Amino acid sequence: MFPHMTRILIVNSNTTDSVTARIAAAAGAVAPAGTVIEAVSAPFGLPLIVTRADWLVAGPATLAALSARRGSYDAAVIACFGDPGLDAAKELLDVPVLGISEAAFHAAAMLGRRFAVVSFTAALRPMFEDCLDHHGLRSRCCGFRMGPPFNGDPGRVAEERRELLIGLCQEAVEQDGAEAVILAGGPLAGLAPVLQPHVPRPLIDGTQAAIRLAVALAGLAPHGQRRQERKLTGYDSAVTSLYAGRA
C-alpha cells in the first residue's frame, strides 16, 4: 500500500505568483484522493524563465524552495519547462523529484510510441531539444509543431491560439504519426484536458503528468548515502542547509 496520504510539493521555478496559482490549479485537477499538494514560487530569481542562463540561475532558487519545506513532502515537482535544478535536486533530496519536461516526455513515451511536441511558439524548440537530449528520449519524438512568434499577453495565449493549437495537434497526429502529443509551454498549463476532445490521441500536460508520476514514485527513493558536511557559501540558508552532513 502507498502511504495513506501522499504529500507533493510543486515548485514554480520563477517568482511570479499568478503562474504558481495556475500551476496549482492544473495540479489539483488530477491529484488522486489521499494526495495533498502544495505549490510555491521560487523565493528569488526571475519572474520568467526563457533562456539557458535563466535555467541556471533558477536552479538554486528552485533548490531553496525545495529545501525550505524539506520533510513536509513525499515527492516534489519542478514546474518549469527546462527543469531547472532538477539533477541537483535529485541528488540532494531524499525523495523523488520530477521536472515537468521530464514527466511529459516519459508519460508521452508510455502512452504512444511516437510523440509530438506542440506549442504556441517555435522559440521554445531549442529548449525542448536540449531537454529531450538530456533525458535521452529524442528518438521517441516524431516532430515539433509550433506557432509563429507571439508578442501578446502570455496569460491569454491559450485562449487566443486555441484553434491554432488544435490544428497543430491534429497535424502532428495525421502528418507526423504522433501517438501522443505534449502540449508544452508554461502558459498552456492545464489546457490539455480542454483540447483533448478535439484530438484523437492522448494530450499530455506537463504539470499534470508530473503530479501523476510523482505520486506513483513516492516512497521509491531510499535514504541514500551518508554525506559529509560541506561548506557552501554565497547562497541563502535554505540552499546551504542542503550541504549539511547526513548520517
Q: Minimum distance between the CB of residue 106 and a second copy, rounded to whole angstroms?
A: 5
* Segment holding 180, helix H or strand E: strand 180-183
Q: Minimum distance between the CB of residue 79 and a second copy, rounded to whole angstroms?
A: 16
- Specify the residue, 23 or 215, whose C-beta has the smaller distance to a second copy: 215
- Specify the residue, 26 or 242, whose C-beta has the smaller distance to a second copy: 242
- Specify the residue, 21 or 232, whose C-beta has the smaller distance to a second copy: 232
**CA dist 25 → 104, 192, 193, 235 (Å):** 17, 13, 13, 31
- Specify the residue, 158 or 213, whose C-beta has the smaller distance to a second copy: 213
Tally the C-alpha atoms within 13 A of residue 32's C-alpha that lie toward its C-beta. 14
**CA dist 172 → 4, 81, 96, 156, 196 (Å):** 40, 20, 32, 23, 14
Q: Minimum distance between the CB of residue 50 and a second copy, rounded to whole angstroms?
A: 9
Q: Answer for the pair 240, 67: CB distance below 8 angstroms, yes or no.
A: no
Q: Minimum distance between the CB of residue 192 and a second copy, rounded to whole angstroms?
A: 9
- Distance from C-alpha of 190 to C-alpha of 142, rounded to nearest angstrom: 23
